[in-house]
Amino acid sequence: MTLKIPYEDQLHADTVAFLSAQPKQLLIGGRWTPSLSGKTFVTNEPSTGLPLAEVYEAQPEDVDLTVADARAAFEKWRKVTPYQRERLLHKLADLIEKHSQVLAEIETLDNGKPIGAALNIDVPSTVEMFRYYAGWPTKIEGGVKPVSIPNRLNYTLREPVGVVGTIIPWNFPLSMISWKLGPALAAGNCVILKPAEQTPLSAVYFCELAIQAGFPEGVISLLNGAGEVTGAALVAHPGVDKIAFTGSTEVGRLIMKAAAGNLKRVSLELGGKSPHIIFDDADLETAIPYAAGSIFGNAGQSCNAGSRLLVQRKVYEQVVEAVANSAMHIRVGVGMDVGTDMGPLTSLEHYQRVTRYIELGQQAGASVRFGAQRPSGVPQGGYFVSPTIFENTTDDMAVVREEIFGPVLVATVFDTLEEVAQRANNTPYGLAAGVWTRDISRAHQLAGMLAAGTVWVNCYYQFDPSSPFGGYKQSGFGRDMGHEALEQYLNTKSVWVGL
């Protein structure tokens, strides 16, 4: 298939070269290869809806081959010293940093996000994550246990679980690679990566860099393809020891069931409908841009988006007016244009889903404070929606209860701390929450009362490789980042010695 490269004159020569070489292949046993069946799929450029690249689609027989190669590679990889693993991870981080511009352009073209965000957030946070985990291999230790049986020595060994399959979403493709591969590789596992079919490309470039860094054959494999085919085959495979997943709660449930076959370990980072709570004593000047940024950043396609804004009565009107004003000033446009604040949604299917929710909200009687129409001046065929704010909602409406995963905010008023805690927790999700107040006892009280894996007080959207992130309730279990994530890629062996 010959495809025209969109925005070609704005791209780095290496990006053009990368996009010109198609179809994109699978990485199996350290070799780039077509799928055995020759089957391919196409990924689109979201600002135009036009095809961007053709990619080989891994089928179950490709998954079988990959798992066999990864198992063989693991037997060698487990003998590589911790120091060597550190060196490889550092080298990989350096290469990602060196190729920042190309990676950012690939991410923008495939996902739709503004190039500034890709360049200043996605790529540097990926580098930082790999550097953080590069520090770990030489610090993973077992311990000597104070057992009370005479003449016995007992100690523990920390060992990699083996072959890890990781299935990631399309909202932050490159960062998600680092959240999973950082700890998995630091712990000494082999990894098979299955990106989302909407955004397969940055993973291909990433794997080219991993080969350059010197990772041995079969330690990192790449299987692009469809969730129900490639993903499902990986999850069901008896040769895979663990699945690390980020995506929807619905697919998370399917994965848990499918993993039962060989009782593989599972960690799930799923959806959210996070409350963002502003009390009337808050520093509003700081809180308001965070309230807007937490839902409109990445076009709302973040699992931790602050999608429910709860504002105390006295300042409700002032806050919502200011958030609507921020929404009005957001420049919605093409990701490759440097002036763009918010790009299109990532796929047509997702565009249809988000616009349907906007209709549902109106049909249910919510009032539109801002947005709910197609932005003007954007290319035909692109998946653009306006930042949208609903008011006068009730807590049982779909737009209040369900994860929309788009730039759609529901704003409501509250009176007391008890009321807001109860309403904030009145959701099947429990990923994150934000609290704004100058009253420190109220802040800490509420931090304790909220059923969420992350609580941000007088800030929002803070991530650091050292701080664990993950869900309560149906937002999943297990943690990304920190030593908590590392634990999930390690087994503990207890060794007894008769003296």
- List the single partner that 43 binds among Mg ion, ligand NAP, none, CB under 5 to 8 Å by kind: Mg ion
**Residue with smallest beta-carbon separation from ligand NAP:** 227
Instruction: Return the structure tokens found at 441.
Output: 């006892």
Contacts of 420 (CB under 8 A, 6+ apart): 275, 277, 310, 312, 414, 446
Q: Is 107 in the site for Mg ion (CB under 5 A)?
A: no
| Shortest reach from residue 247's CB to ligand NAP, in Å | 3
User: Known catalytic residue: 97?
Assistant: no
Counting Cβ atoms within 10 Å, is residue 70 exposed (0-12), middle (13-18) or buried (19+)?
A: buried
Q: Which does 167 bind (CB under 5 to 8 A by kind): ligand NAP, Mg ion, none?
A: ligand NAP
Q: Which residues, in sequence order, are bridge partners of residue 286?
A: none
Is the Cβ of residue 202 or residue 437 nearer to Mg ion in the bound state? Answer: 202
The Cα 298–Cα 121 span in angstroms is 11
- Which residues sit at the interface with ligand NAP, rule CB under 6 A? 167-171, 194, 196-198, 226-228, 231-232, 235, 246-248, 251, 254-255, 269-271, 303, 403, 405
Write down the least CB distance from residue 111 to Mg ion, Å.
Answer: 6
Distance CA 319, CA 282 (A): 11
Nearer CB in complex with ligand NAP: 326/475: 475
Alpha-carbon gap, residue 249 to 429, rounded angstroms: 9
Token pair for 450: 């909220």
β 26-28/31-33 pair status: antiparallel
What is 255-272 written as a DSSP string? HHHHTTTTT-EEEEE---
Task: Select which of 269, 349, 418, 487 is catalytic.
Answer: 269
43 lies in the site for Mg ion, by CB under 5 A: yes
* Span 184-203, contacts to Mg ion by CB under 5 A: 198
> In which element (H, E) is residue 138 found?
none
Q: Which of 303, 403, 484, 487 is catalytic?
A: 303
Q: Is 108 in the site for Mg ion (CB under 5 A)?
A: no
Q: Which does 110 bind (CB under 5 to 8 A by kind): Mg ion, ligand NAP, none?
A: Mg ion
Q: Which is nearer to ligand NAP, 109 or 258 (CB)?
A: 258
Whether 269 is catalytic: yes
Q: For ligand NAP, which is the closer residue by CB, 188 or 272?
A: 272
Q: What is the largest CA-CA distance in the chain?
A: 79
426 binds, among ligand NAP, Mg ion, none (CB under 5 to 8 A by kind): none
**Closest distance to ligand NAP from the beta carbon of 163 (Å):** 16
Nearer to Mg ion, 112 or 239 (CB): 112
- State the residue for tokens 């960062």: 175
Residue 94: CB atoms within 10 A of its CB come to 16
Which one of 110, 122, 128, 480 is in contact with Mg ion (CB under 5 A)?
110
CB 44 within 8 A of CB 348: yes
Hey, which residues are catalytic here? 269, 303
